[in-house]
Amino acid sequence: MSTQSAPARLSRELIGALIVFALFAGLPILADAMGDTFVVFFTIRIMVFAIAAVSLSLILGYGAMVSFGHAAYLGLGAYCVAILAEHGIWDVTVSLPVTLAVCGLFALVTGAISLKTRGVYFIMITLAFGQMAYYTATSLSAYGGDDGLTMWGRTEILGSTALGDRTVFYYVVLGCLLTCYLLARMIVASRFGRVLQGAKQSEMRLRAIGIDPYAYRLIAYVIAGMMAGLAGALLANAAEFVSPAYMSWHRSGELIVMVVLGGLGSLLGAIVGAASFLVLEEVLSHFTEHWRLIFGPFLVLVVLFGRGGLISLLPGGRKNG
């Protein structure tokens, strides 16, 4: 058990978050000085998946809900934007509410059913719902089917094509990541978050004092689904392309790996885990197409010996970051 006072722990978490977000904020300036545009596009991808990882960390790290279908919301968010664009609806004032509503509704319906189960049954039923969304996307022949759907541009803001500018889009994604991180931190620090964490530790004790954690878990599940949907909408704009592969179980597994790699029970760790996973993937794939054979043992070593995940190496350390 940590002997640090709450204010000291909070200040360490704040320092860690400031370091991470300062690095993200300053990277485009450094990339422009180096004349390297790839770094900016790659970091946009990192931040998009960091949003999805933060959303999963909220329910996995704090609510012990191991969702193996979380990528479904990533894909749903992407397809909402792309399908609306295919029908000539480009403005964010329409696409964003639709994306959040669709992902929230899907999370509400599937979560209401999934949360009636526990343990491996919860994992399997979320996997089933995720695969249902995946196969539905592959069957949409009008929107590309297996081949995916190309977007001929990015979402507009009140008729403006400002997101077409690489730097503007970068900072919009950064702003979304910061907003999701702060929102998740507020949730975790609130009474709602304490109930969620209490249910993780002992559901029986909560029920003994008259609190039914089901509604709390369901609300957290819906919020996480909507956050992941936002990440999907940003991913569609970043790649200007959507594919059923966005919502496959492999992608859900990668999101879980990001959260575990960064550190369970740490929102900042989810961001660090997403960045580490994608950087390692990019570097190792240059040496071999079987890069997972190298990454796998590395992940095992982190889980076994890096107590608290990679986040423990940052000044913000553990917990509740």
**How high is the pLDDT of residue 209?**
86
pLDDT in tens, 190-214: 999 999 998 888 888 888 888 889 9
pLDDT in tens, 91-138: 999 999 999 999 999 999 999 999 999 889 999 999 999 999 999 999
Tokens 């970091």 sit on residue: 43
Range list of H helices, the chain: 6-34, 37-60, 71-86, 92-114, 119-138, 166-189, 191-201, 203-208, 213-239, 249-262, 267-284, 292-305
**How high is the pLDDT of residue 8?**
53
In whole angstroms, what is the distance from residue 58 CA to residue 108 CA? 16
Mean pLDDT of 142-158: 90
What is the helix (H) or strand (E) element at residue 242, kind and residue range?
A: strand 241-242
pLDDT at 316 over 50: no
**How high is the pLDDT of residue 296?**
87
pLDDT at 321 over 80: no
Mean pLDDT of 126-151: 92
What is the helix (H) or strand (E) element at residue 244, kind and residue range?
A: none
Mean pLDDT of 216-226: 96
The mean pLDDT of the chain is: 89
Structural tokens at position 181: 């991180």
Q: Name the residue with higher pLDDT: 312 or 291.
A: 291
pLDDT at 256 over 70: yes
| Residue in 169, 313, 159 with CA at minimum distance from that of residue 233 | 169
pLDDT in tens, 51-88: 999 999 999 989 989 999 999 999 999 999 999 999 99
pLDDT at 6 over 60: no
pLDDT at 302 over 70: yes
Provide CB contacts within 8 A for 160, sequence distance 6+: none
* Angle formed at CA 107 by CA 105 and CA 110, multiple of 5 degrees: 105
Structural tokens at position 228: 């992941």
Proportion of the chain above pLDDT 90, given as a percent:
65
pLDDT in tens, 7-44: 555 566 788 889 899 999 999 998 888 888 889 999 99
Q: Name the residue with higher pLDDT: 290 or 314.
A: 290
Burial of 239-270, coded b for 16+ CB within 10 Å and e otherwise, reads bebbbbebbbbebbebbbbbbbbbbbbbbbbb
CB of 309 within 8 A of CB of 266?
A: yes
